[in-house]
Amino acid sequence: MSQSPDIVAVQICGQSYPIRSSLDARYVAQLARYVDDKMRTASESTPTTDATRLAVLAALNIADELFRCQEHQEQGQGALAERTQRIEQMVDEALRLVGD
């Protein structure tokens, strides 16, 4: 049974946004703070007051973070698979030695 959506009021760059979500209100507020931080960072490094441009820059920065995290996770999974294979080889070798 899914939870019915609630409206969570958040502030991003001084603008208030009513967000309809079935997610926890604190989590939605945390997401909004993160986006607000990214937009403020973009505004500090870009000489524009155009909110759309700032939102696009913030979205690109967030997408970059996501891609880097995904790449890091994939590399970690590859390393884990490699270690698992080495352990399997060691176990196979040990079993072969015990069988002899």
All residues at 6 or more sequence positions from 10 whose CB lies less than 8 Å from its CB, including other chains: 16, 17, 19, 28, 29, 32
Model's pTM, two decimal places?
Answer: 0.69
Domain ranges of the chain: 6-99
33 — pLDDT class (breaks 50, 70, 90): very high
For range 62-89, the mean pLDDT: 88
Amino acid found at 1: M
In this prediction, residue 1 carries a pLDDT of 46
Q: Is the separation of the CB atoms in 84 and 90 below 8 Å?
A: no
pLDDT at 99 over 80: no
Instruction: Provide, for the chain, the percentages of residues in helix, strand and coil under a 3-state DSSP scheme, each rounded to the nearest 5.
Output: 70, 15, 15
Q: Residue 20: its pLDDT value, please?
A: 95
What region does 2 belong to: left with phi over 0, alpha with psi -120 to 50, or beta? beta
**Average pLDDT, integer, range 9-20:** 95
